[in-house]
Structure 1
Amino acid sequence: MTRHTSMLQAIPLALAMVNLATPGALADTPDDVTFDVFRNGSPFGEHRVEFSERPDGRMEVEIDIGLRVGFGPVTVFRYEHESEEVWDGGELVSLTASTLKDGDRTRYALSRDEEGRLISQDGLIEDLVPSSHWSGYMAGLPAVLNTETGEPMDVTIEDLGMDRIETGSGLIDARRYRMTGSVTVDLWYDAEGRWVGCAFSIRGQNIVYRLRDS
């Protein structure tokens, strides 16, 4: 394995920390967000989060991440992640996810049982905020649910205050949060709590999310 390939393979770990405003009421369906993703300034792929209301009034969140590095027709790195979250008010009802990484496809699913507990095929799951990022995190939160693996992930979350961030429509004001775990990830949220930016560095790779439309 080359050093270049090893650096790329570490990126999904950071993306799991990327899924900040305080998590708010989910009575209104949020606006969709699409990010263009850049690696060291070059196009790397996109990350989409789409929201819809189900007939039962619950909110469905579909997340699609596609990243690729290639030389002409030859792909040297590919990462794909698709997940679906279902929310009832401020409570996660179910989550299914599928991830292609290093050529291997992994899947998991979890849902609430009749007693309100989150259950997966492996048993009881700790009731944590998913690391899909769109709903935000409270500063000081000690752990999140890794949306790639379905397992708890210890983190430290700091509120870094107001900042300015570049989007596809220009600079906007946003509050900056930092999530520190195995990788340090910076996240930005606008005045309405909408996720509008992300950036992290890992093994010499600088990854930046730029909101396509603000």
Structure 2
Amino acid sequence: MATKKLTPLIILLLLLSNSLIAREWNFDAILNDRVIGQHNFKIDNSESLSEANFHIEFLFMDIYYKHTSSESWDNGCLIKINSQTNDDGDHFKVTGKLEGKDFKLKVNDNSFQYPNCIMSFSYWDSKILEQSKLLNSQNGELLDVKFVFIKDELMLVRQKKIMTKHYELVATKEGDEKMKIQLWYDQEMNWVGLSSTTPIGDIFYKLL
């Protein structure tokens, strides 16, 4: 009898646990047709974790990049960030949190104050496409951004050709272009791809 009474509760708990399953995006980073590392994203309720680890061999150079960013969110607004980056020997530590009406940020030994509802480059959230400013979690810069819809196009995702929406993101600071990124989302606006131009070639994110 006890088991039967518990059955509805067990079913409810299973349904709740399924609705709270963490979402993950795991990408191979490919440069000039070679896998140079991985960039993984994990979203669990109001917490997100981004981890990238690249090793690039170019001509006579070995280039290393390692980045980790832990972020907390409230209704689409960033309320806390802790990130560490080693950009081939250039080190950045970014910490910040919402305090009252301001988002207070520290990058290494420098302090900044930003508006109270900002987003980072959280590609996994399609609301990013509505933003005019984004926080670079690597170095703490708040950049002006513009998104342009390019076209609907077929794309190979996990061994299947699917129709995607292709957007271009251009980020600037004081009029100077900082980055140009191509983004792809499926028809349900789930993030499925990214590419970015670098001085040594285009990096493409392949969804695993």
TM-score for the superposition, normalised by structure 1: 0.74
Amino acid at match of 1:133: Y
Q: CA deviation at 1:60?
A: 0.9
Aligned residues with identical type, % of pairs:
23
Shift of 1:152: 0.8
| Structure 1 or 2: more helix by fraction | 2
Instruction: Show CA shifts across 1:169-213 (max 9, x none).
Output: 32222211101133321001123322110012222402111100x
User: Which amino acid counterpart does residue 129 of structure 2 have in structure 1?
Assistant: M
Q: Is the 8 A contact 2:102 2:113 kept in 1?
A: yes
Instruction: Determine whether 1:187 maps to 2:179.
Output: no
Residue 64 of structure 1 corresponds to which residue in structure 2? 51
CA distance in 1, matches of 2:25, 2:101: 30
Q: Which structure features the higher share of strand residues? A: 2
Contact 1:198/1:208, CA 8 A, preserved across alignment: yes
Q: Is the 8 A contact 1:68 1:75 kept in 2?
A: no
Q: Distance in 1 between the 2:56 and 2:198 partners? A: 16
User: Is residue 133 from structure 1 mapped to residue 108 from structure 2 by the alignment?
Assistant: no
Give the counterpart letter for 1:155 in structure 2. Answer: V
Q: Structure 1 138/29 Cα, relative in aligned 2: closer, same or farther at 3 Å?
A: farther
CA distance in 2, matches of 1:96, 1:134: 18
Which protein shows a greater Rg? Answer: 2
Matched, 1:41 2:33: yes
What residue is the counterpart of 1:155 in the other structure? Answer: 145
Sort the Cα spacing of 1:48 and 1:75 in 2 relative to 1 into closer, same or farther, 3 A. Answer: farther
Q: 1:117 to 1:42 in 2, by over 3 A?
A: same
1:63-96: per-residue Cα shift (whole Å, max 9, x none)? 001110248xx97010011001111232222111
Q: CA RMSD in A?
A: 2.3
Look up the match of 2:76.
90
1:78 correspondence with 2:64: yes
State whether residues 37 and 47 of structure 1, in contact with CA within 8 Å, keep that contact through their aligned partners in structure 2.
Answer: yes
Indicate the SS of the match to 2:129: coil
Q: Tell me if structure 2 keeps the 8 A contact 1:165–1:174.
A: yes
User: Is the CA contact 2:29–2:204 (under 8 Å) kept in the aligned structure 1?
Assistant: yes
Assess if the C-alpha contact under 8 Å between 1:132 and 1:147 holds in 2: no
Structure 1: segments with no counterpart, 5+ residues: 1-26, 54-58
Q: Is the 8 A contact 2:77 2:118 kept in 1?
A: no
Residue in 1 that maps onto 2:93: 107
Q: Which runs of 5+ in 2 are unaligned?
A: 1-18, 172-176
Q: In structure 1, the residue corresponding to 2:113 is in which secondary structure?
A: strand
For the 8 Å contact 2:29–2:206, the answer to whether it is kept is: yes
Given that 1:51 and 1:61 are in contact with CA atoms closer than 8 Å, whether structure 2 keeps it comes out as: yes
CA distance in structure 1 between the aligned counterparts of 2:200 and 2:64, rounded to whole angstroms: 18
Partner-residue secondary structure (3-state), 1:32:
strand
Q: One-letter code of the match for 1:124?
A: Q
Output the amino acid matched with 1:63: S
